[in-house]
Amino acid sequence: MAIAAKSMRPMPGESTRNRIVHIAMNLASREGLESLSIGDLAKELGMSKSGLFAHFGSKEELQLATIEAAEKVFGHAVLESAFAAPEGLPRLRACLENYIRYLEDCIFPGGCFFSAVAAEYDDRPGRIRDRIAISMRKWSDVLLEQAKAARERDELKPDVDEEQLVFELKAYTHEANFSRRLLDDGLALGQALKAVGSRLDDVASRAGRAALRR
Amino acid sequence: MAIAAKSMRPMPGESTRNRIVHIAMNLASREGLESLSIGDLAKELGMSKSGLFAHFGSKEELQLATIEAAEKVFGHAVLESAFAAPEGLPRLRACLENYIRYLEDCIFPGGCFFSAVAAEYDDRPGRIRDRIAISMRKWSDVLLEQAKAARERDELKPDVDEEQLVFELKAYTHEANFSRRLLDDGLALGQALKAVGSRLDDVASRAGRAALRR
DNA sequence: CCTACCGATCGGTAGG
DNA sequence: CCTACCGATCGGTAGG
């Protein structure tokens, strides 16, 4: 009875709640947030369903906590180091390249957590969909901010539309995620990287090209 | 008892099996193929669960039949009229523009059926994932064939990589679907259309531009 | 954090 | 195509 047979070590400093959310996040990136079951999660953690449940009070709260945790992971993996790059085109490029590396490194076992759950909830109104939309919007806004910073620094050719540019850049990275996962397309990440590189080259003014070379 | 209170008229020529699959297809485009429940479907059709079940023998067979039906709808909405356009760049463009119109017209209530279920099954190995991958691969192959036809007709500039081009074009159309649905982004379809147009302009040789103008 | 339980629903079956 | 049922599992609760 006293012997807790666990494959998952308790991770001294880590609270039970954090352990739960951590596992939930990784499960959800593969199977989705909806089919995430409290019973399965409890089994995986070697605790009782109701013990786990007590930490959240409802499945929805667990799902929301999971999204927030995933946002932190995304911030660490993709955004943090990109903010070391200078504002404008260099930082825009760093964000996109970091995103592609985040796919390559399988930070989540099911690819991009947010692409997965966004597709799952895009037609299911409610708090979960709203929370996911906020996360996606944040990411979109970071990219658009940098495109606008690039414009202010004259790093973009005069006729370039910043929103159109960001739309195209996001498209490459999302396509990389789906092509790679469904079609086992090993070339997809490279194609996305190439697409990002040549699109940025296309839109960069002389000042922009100089900034990208630095 | 004899009065069958039904909002869904039997559609004289349509078999029960077809009616089931038709509803399943529309439901799945919004909620996914996995959470599709035989009980819900039966309720929607005003028949018993087991009566519906007997048409398929397992949930998996129902799901596979649903994917096949969706492929037919896609073929009608997107491919058929595109094949009236001349091979090469004109047909490539027609495919992409038809796809964007298919999103606009909400042929499926949840946007693109295949984008939805591809995201759902990309990490769930099995017959359903395999069937979806076949559908996606077909679509990909149609686009690549036309890019190669364009190359043979000298419609592409010499340095253009056909696979890279197709990757970028697919990316625009998929991004349109997701931006529009999750972020209620009314501009997404227009941005995708513009991206397709300018990418095709970029890669077209003199002969290619002539073909697109015809 | 636990055991023990709830009503509802799941896919699927028996038998007609 | 139906009724009537199966075992399993769901989210959630009572009570400790």
Span B15-24, pLDDT tens digits: 899 999 999 9
Span B95-112, pLDDT tens digits: 999 999 999 999 999 999
Give me the pLDDT at residue A123, please: 94
Can you give the distance from the CA of residue A45 to the C1' of nucleotide C6 in angstroms?
24
Amino acid at B20: I
Give me the pLDDT at residue B3, please: 31
- Please answer yes or no on whether A175 and B174 come within 8 Å at the CB atom: yes
Nearest CA in chain B to A28: B123
Q: Is-contact B143 B170, C-beta < 8 A?
A: yes
Q: Is-contact A79 A142, C-beta < 8 A?
A: yes
For chain B, what is the mean pLDDT?
A: 93
Confidence (pTM): 0.93
Q: Is-contact A155 A207, C-beta < 8 A?
A: yes
Span B155-166, pLDDT tens digits: 999 999 999 999
- Please answer yes or no on whether B174 and A170 come within 8 Å at the CB atom: no
From the Cβ of A138, is strand D under 7 Å away?
Answer: no
Which of B34, B119, B136 lies nearest to residue A116, judging by beta carbons? B119
pLDDT band of residue B13 (cuts 50, 70, 90) is: low
pLDDT of B12 above 80: no
From the Cβ of A38, is strand C under 7 Å away?
Answer: no
Span B67-99, pLDDT tens digits: 999 999 999 999 999 999 999 999 999 999 999
Q: Read off the DSSP letter of residue B8.
A: S
What average pLDDT does the segment B10-18 reach? 71
| φ and ψ of A133, to 5 deg | -60, -35
Give me the pLDDT at residue B150, please: 98
Residue corresponding to tokens 């605790």:
A47
Give me the pLDDT at residue B8, please: 40
For residue A114, the chain B residues in CB contact (below 8 A) are none
Hey, of B162, B168, B174, which one would you mutate to test binding to chain A, going by the most A CBs within 10 A of its CB? B168
Distance CA B131, CA B73 (A): 16
Span B120-141, pLDDT tens digits: 999 999 999 999 999 999 999 9
Distance CA B36, CA B41 (A): 8
pLDDT band of residue B6 (cuts 50, 70, 90) is: very low
| Euclidean distance between the first and the last CA atom of chain B, given in angstroms as a whole number | 63
Per-residue pLDDT of chain A (214 residues), as tens digits, is 333 333 344 445 578 999 999 999 999 999 999 999 999 999 999 999 999 999 999 999 999 999 999 999 999 999 999 999 999 999 999 999 999 999 999 999 999 999 999 999 999 999 999 999 999 999 999 999 999 999 999 999 999 999 999 999 999 999 999 999 998 889 999 999 999 999 999 999 999 999 999 8
Q: Provide residues of A within 8 Å CB-CB of chain B.
A: 29-32, 34-35, 109-111, 115-116, 118-124, 129, 132-133, 136-137, 140, 163-164, 167-168, 170-172, 174-175, 178-179, 181-183, 187-188, 191-192, 194-195, 202
Q: Read off the DSSP letter of residue B107.
A: S
